[in-house]
Structure 1
Amino acid sequence: MRVRLNSVYKFLMVLLVLVLASCGSAKKTGDDLVTDSRQEKDMIERNYPVMADHFDSAVGYAIFPNVGKGAYVIGGASGNGTVYENGNLIGYADLKQIDVGLQIGGKAFVEVLFFENEQALEKFKSGSYELSANASAVILDEGFSRDLEFQDGVAIVTVPKGGAMAGISVGGQRFEFRPL
């Protein structure tokens, strides 16, 4: 009986991982995605006023309003976003992430990439762009009041939306840019 129950738990966990990993990947219309991105940007600026300066001063930014991540040893995340240069919409991007490690659970979050200079934005716009496993993200939470750290001209910010995840993992993110 115990073996059977354990198998059921494993099946349910794998199912949860697949469902949560696909949350951010649902294709939306461009208008829906722009609306979602605008709403999440407004929420970030309202809840973390220091971030408004980063949106204004960055050469560009990409915002992924609904990223879903799920993991059971092997993890995956996916999301669609909008890309802005000097505050103007210039295209869309897809985010994919694969990681491996001691991890379990699922979560949803907003991810923003800030581009510090033109070279970093041009590299992102060239088509396929990858962030290495050692790229670190700033997680916005209550009391956030520090500057962003740029690595190779890119700073990553995430805002948790829901879910629970535990573990340690290594992986990277890959982005595909599509101009308007």
Structure 2
Amino acid sequence: MKTLKTIMAVCLLLITVGVTAQNSKDKEVMADAQKAKTALLEKDPGLEKFFDTASGYVIFPSIGKGALIIGGAMGNGVVYENGVAIGMSNIKKLSVGIQAGGQALTEVIFFETDEALNEFKQGNYEFAAQASAVIADKGVSEDANYDDNVIVFAMPKAGLMAETSVGGQKFEYHPFK
């Protein structure tokens, strides 16, 4: 059954990429997002319950992050509603504090309700300074819960970052035409 779901998801992705992605960059990000989803599920299979039950989610397959006192991060991702790609998103982060280094990470944001997803789709969604991501690792999703109908999981890919900082995250959403 799980294999059939995977085959159906890949077929749907291939159809979606061919029909809705606007350019080669979108197609590349969509393919990377699918690989990131697979890597996240391998790291913590419990995340599947979020992918299966969330009204929507955004996968940022690679966010680049760097800082020396003032820090920043950016990346591109794919927005899914009920498991179907509906648009692209980008993330920009700015922070100030005791921080140094660079890092690449994968991030997925799950929206528990249609209202939370619709708020994101308005185009200028922001997380407050105190918003933080749960580091995806084996079994961590078991006790993870939504906060205000949103939960964020992150998986470091490479690099080292030390930080004690305050900042915010801003997202833009661009629906497929």
TM superposition score normalised by structure 2: 0.83
Aligned counterparts of 2:162 and 2:108: Cα–Cα separation in 1: 22
User: CA distance change for structure 1 residues 119 and 58 in 2, over 3 Å: closer, same or farther?
Assistant: same
Q: What's the CA shift for 1:47?
A: 2.1
Matched, 1:118 2:114: yes
How well do the aligned residues superpose, as a CA RMSD in angstroms? 1.4
Match in the other structure for 2:38: 42
Q: Distance in 1 between matches of 2:83 and 2:39?
A: 17
Q: CA deviation at 1:53?
A: 1.2
Give the equivalent residue in structure 1 for 2:148.
152
Instruction: After TM superposition, give the deviation of residue 30 of structure 1 in Å.
Output: 1.1
Task: Return the alpha-carbon distance in structure 2 between the equivalents of residues 170 and 149 of structure 1.
Answer: 23
Contact 2:78/2:89 (8 A) holds in 1: yes
Provide the residue aligned with 1:21 in structure 2.
none
Quick one: which amino acid aligns to residue 50 of structure 2? H
Do the aligned residues in 2 keep the contact of 1:76 with 1:96 (CA within 8 Å)?
yes
Taking the TM superposition and a 5 Å limit, the aligned residue runs for 1:5-16 are none
Other structure's SS at 1:168 match: strand
Whole-Å separation in 2 of the counterparts to 1:49 and 1:77: 27
Uncovered stretches (5+) of structure 1, i.e. residues with no partner? 1-26
Identity %: 47
Q: Deviations over 1:128-165 (max 9, x none)?
A: 10000111210113453523232221101100001011
Aligned residues between the structures: 154
Following the alignment from structure 2 to structure 1, what is the Cα–Cα distance between the partners of residues 41 and 137?
13
- Partner SS, residue 31 of structure 1: helix
**Stretch deviating more after TM superposition (96-105 or 146-155):** 146-155
> Residues of 2 paired with 1:118 and 1:107: CA distance?
32
| Equivalent in 133, 137, 146 of residue 141 of structure 1 | 137
Give the counterpart of 1:86 among 78, 82, 88.
82
Distance 1:116 1:36, change over 3 A: same
Is the 8 Å Cα contact of residues 64 and 75 (structure 2) preserved in structure 1? yes
Structure 2: state its 5+ residue gaps: 1-22
Q: Name segments (4+ residues, structure 1) moved above 4 Å.
A: none
Alignment of 1:45-84 (within 5 A): 45-84=41-80
Are 2:139 and 1:168 equivalent residues in the alignment? Answer: no
